[in-house]
Structure 1
């Protein structure tokens, strides 16, 4: 990475306003940290602990970082890894005149390694030679004050900004509902009442009967929700429908979606209106059995369509990523079930059957027993200093994979953005999944944890083929258990002992059962109409 000139602010009078300006600029979430060195601490590891403290990490856990390479080097690697992962672009160092030359050299090196601007505040008279105090092949700029240095740093290093999220196209909203409430983040976090256990064709109707205006006023659910019980469930259900429809209609942007070995693929038809299977004729002649009683209810339009239906579509990588995104930020099991049922209804509108396991309320897996919401991530980020330990816990909660499988996942299995990780599933009670690795999606708010672990892995000299998360799991899951306690996170039993039950998303399959009832033209016309209304507001 290209280094930036060191910004130097000379404050010989030790003005309190200068210190207050530094603390006012401190905002790790926005990419700016203010480092206050520990008085009397002269080691490189000490100043790196100060950097970790500025990043909000618990430095009392520094002992967990000790390993091959020595204490100072490992702490230094952790500081670099977290600075990179948290996208810090400006490092302000107070009391720089009290640091040793080696400590200042390490801070300058940190800025170079992370492409961050380093501003040192010198609370003393200027030295005779700045080159002797700021070692390294770089330039420096003497600033008139810290506010000017902050402005100059912003011009020197454009702060990273996340790309604006694309506006969600809400296609499959239930009749009579406006789409906007479903995309409301607050609506998706409200507590839900007990849900019906029925399958998706009956789920919404049963929810209306049990939670709508027919409720008894002496019912416990009524006491908690009034007549809004169905309303809050329907908002989550509708959001699942919208996500399903958006994903299906966006498949033309992804091209043909390849299925796992032994299965067909998904591809859009010539008009780009519906997803159809790319199976060979021999595969069509020998379709796997549909769920009992479903075949006679297929929404086909005539004998010529029935000839090629049903088709079983394999669990593709894209489908797995969709299922991961569907439940990634669900705060409770009930939210996940409501979204899954809504997604099933959305698939059905497109001539697809998303067949999830029976008794979904008892199933295991992500969203149901394995959950990683934004609150979990914030607690992990604030309470765990070791990047690999933090990532291991996040990966376990996000994927629902067996810890033994996660322990052997190589660093190369994590993609460049930290958005997906591939895990090879081991046999479970006699069941064996297809030979290919399973791809799990990582929620956006958790990706910095995975990226920090990879940076730490690389800085410690490990190869991409070596296990990434193993050191964070430990023998008999000891590190996972300890980190879970620190973060206040309950680690679920992801596979019930003796049951042979696989996570729900790995048992979910997709069938092509008929022509799409929801067409692309209608969806786009509705979207254009809604966008026009929004523009008029």
Structure 2
């Protein structure tokens, strides 16, 4: 038969020895989730003690009343929420003999509703009668200073534990003015126009995106050939997670172009909208790091307001989108937040500016970084404690208008919210289109070697410079027209890539009939003009086309792109 773990310890210090107090204060270490609370001189009642506990946990004392924690019920609900969300192990309470019976009951109840262990320090020769009555039926241990070290050995929470910080991806500094080309030519343009060290930084990000696509598309996704759809919840989460900690739009673009290349390698096409005026991760959303969360905890005491500030940063959309957010949007393990969207509810200028290109109805999915998840856990725990069973309650019902409260909280934390971001209709991952056009270029099982080589198809880029002549026959075939799109371009591009790898004619096999040769010539000219294809050497005498060198380079199938074009004469 096993005994219940000792969750409550009572330390008697009848002489009020300063050595005991100093020894206990030395245990305070947030890194090991061990906290020491030294109550203020007037703290005896539940509300005051709850405020002292919140301050010991890192909350700002000056904000407790202004943020809705003036009442004892709300204050203790906040204590339980923070303790539960951060899995705090141990709380040492000094001068506990001064508390009244209700305060003792709240402290003991904390061990019943969370996994915390308490050490209650009474500077008296014996356990106060009020405390003795409160802990009746609770497994506890009474000790003195001589037994403190033994208690520390037996209570695992008092032993410092090693915390493993969440790994943070590194991003190198990128210069201004990097190319913003489409995926077909993005990698090639960076290769041609930037120094090798800049290309290496961009290509590392590009490889992350390519690896992410290859892993996500194994096993093959259930999308029929020829089917096109808006990004669903799984794809939105993939997009948001890939770029959630991106420090700039240039880093975001490199990651997304690599992701598009990975989709193309698997016979899929990912149409990503122009991010210039849209909202979301990697654009209007700043990275929410452990440092950001620490600033939120130091400036905000209320769990719901802290979660709201984190969501304002994570979503990067107008704060009005959070006004109607309900509790059921926060679901364990808090790795994502879902906000329903209906384009019919968009009004005013946002409808004129953003409605085109948005899905009729969708659910916007936002990825939550690991550092921010405890904030959402705490908000959910607080609301369920105050309104048990009501999982459809509005998340920010107690903070109306939410914009004003969040802006004030951001100012207190020294954080800057996105300036005039678009409404939810401008959330870019929700506007991404996904289609399937052909079989995969490769079917290798993803692995984890160097970046961009997860499916073992990548070719290392060649050294500079590219000395071959540019593969263009006429002046009008040059860069100026490569932005033009054709309705079937993704499918044709994948077909060109397969023919390039197989060593077969790209288009001739489908156009052998004499009556279709004219259409073939028109298609070839169109593909060449859009820089999807070039004529096979020797140019201009050969009558076949092959995939553009930039596209093969974008998919890491060759070691160099097309050479840079000669400048046009003025």
TM range (shorter): 0.7 to 0.9
Alignment of 1:429 with 2:351, yes or no, is yes
Q: What is aligned with 2:393?
A: 466
Whole-angstrom distance in 2 between the partners of 1:25 and 1:156: 8
Alignment of 1:212 with 2:195, yes or no, is yes
Whole-angstrom distance in 1 between the partners of 2:76 and 2:5: 18
Q: What is aligned with 2:494?
A: none
What TM-score, normalized to structure 1? 0.73
What TM-score, normalized to structure 2? 0.69
Q: What is aligned with 1:140?
A: 140
1:500-511 alignment, distance < 5 Å: 502-511=426-435
Q: CA deviation at 1:62?
A: 0.9
Any conservation in 2 of the 1:18–1:146 contact (CA below 8 Å)?
no
Structure 2 residue corresponding to 1:420, chosen from 336, 347, 351: 336
Q: What is aligned with 1:400?
A: 316
Alignment of 1:326 with 2:242, yes or no, is yes
1:26-425 alignment, distance < 5 Å: 26-66=28-68, 71-127=71-127, 132=132, 134-135=134-135, 137-143=137-143, 144-154=146-156, 185=168, 187-188=170-171, 190-194=172-176, 195-213=178-196, 228-249=197-218, 252=219, 268=220, 275-278=221-224, 308=225, 310-358=226-274, 360-374=275-289, 375-425=291-341
Any conservation in 2 of the 1:199–1:341 contact (CA below 8 Å)?
yes
Q: SS of the residue aligned with 2:398?
A: helix
Q: Deviation per CA, 1:5-47, whole angstroms, max 9, x where unpaired?
A: 4112223344444334433332334322111111222221111
Q: What is aligned with 1:478?
A: 404
Q: CA deviation at 1:134?
A: 4.6
Q: CA deviation at 1:133?
A: 6.5
* Cα distance change, pair 151–386 in 1 and its aligned pair in 2 (3 A): same
Q: SS of the residue aligned with 2:252?
A: helix
* Cα distance change, pair 404–364 in 1 and its aligned pair in 2 (3 A): closer
Moved more, 482-491 or 204-213: 204-213
* Cα distance change, pair 488–230 in 1 and its aligned pair in 2 (3 A): farther
Q: CA deviation at 1:161?
A: 8.0
Any conservation in 2 of the 1:119–1:149 contact (CA below 8 Å)?
no
Any conservation in 2 of the 1:409–1:422 contact (CA below 8 Å)?
no
Structure 1 residue corresponding to 2:414, chosen from 479, 485, 488: 488
Whole-angstrom distance in 1 between the partners of 2:93 and 2:190: 57
Q: SS of the residue aligned with 1:520?
A: coil
Whole-angstrom distance in 2 between the partners of 1:527 and 1:11: 62
Whole-angstrom distance in 2 between the partners of 1:494 and 1:349: 38
* Cα distance change, pair 102–157 in 1 and its aligned pair in 2 (3 A): farther
Any conservation in 2 of the 1:9–1:149 contact (CA below 8 Å)?
no
Mark the runs of 5 or more structure 2 residues left unpaired by the alignment: 457-570
Q: CA deviation at 1:501?
A: 6.6
Any conservation in 2 of the 1:4–1:115 contact (CA below 8 Å)?
no
Whole-angstrom distance in 2 between the partners of 1:332 and 1:461: 40
Q: CA deviation at 1:385?
A: 0.8
Any conservation in 2 of the 1:82–1:387 contact (CA below 8 Å)?
yes
Any conservation in 2 of the 1:337–1:361 contact (CA below 8 Å)?
no
Any conservation in 2 of the 1:91–1:111 contact (CA below 8 Å)?
no
Mark the runs of 5 or more structure 1 residues left unpaired by the alignment: 166-183, 214-227, 253-267, 269-274, 279-307, 530-537
Whole-angstrom distance in 1 between the partners of 2:303 and 2:168: 29
Whole-angstrom distance in 1 between the partners of 2:25 and 2:247: 34
Any conservation in 2 of the 1:391–1:469 contact (CA below 8 Å)?
no
Whole-angstrom distance in 1 between the partners of 2:205 and 2:397: 36
Alignment of 1:453 with 2:379, yes or no, is yes
Q: What is aligned with 1:265?
A: none
Whole-angstrom distance in 1 between the partners of 2:455 and 2:366: 33
Any conservation in 2 of the 1:90–1:118 contact (CA below 8 Å)?
yes
Whole-angstrom distance in 2 between the partners of 1:527 and 1:369: 30
Q: Deviation per CA, 1:448-485, whole angstroms, max 9, x where unpaired?
A: 1111111111122262111113434x327111111121
Any conservation in 1 of the 2:92–2:121 contact (CA below 8 Å)?
yes
Whole-angstrom distance in 1 between the partners of 2:386 and 2:317: 26
Whole-angstrom distance in 1 between the partners of 2:301 and 2:37: 17
Whole-angstrom distance in 1 between the partners of 2:231 and 2:454: 30
Whole-angstrom distance in 2 between the partners of 1:159 and 1:407: 40
* Cα distance change, pair 193–495 in 1 and its aligned pair in 2 (3 A): same
Kindly tell me the number of residue pairs found equivalent between the two proteins: 435
4+ long deviations beyond 6 Å: 155-162, 524-529
Any conservation in 2 of the 1:36–1:50 contact (CA below 8 Å)?
yes
Any conservation in 2 of the 1:45–1:75 contact (CA below 8 Å)?
yes
Q: What is aligned with 2:443?
A: 519
Q: CA deviation at 1:156?
A: 10
**Root-mean-square deviation (CA), in Å?**
3.3
Q: CA deviation at 1:391?
A: 1.0
* Cα distance change, pair 74–111 in 1 and its aligned pair in 2 (3 A): same
Q: Deviation per CA, 1:402-427, whole angstroms, max 9, x where unpaired?
A: 42332112111211222222212242
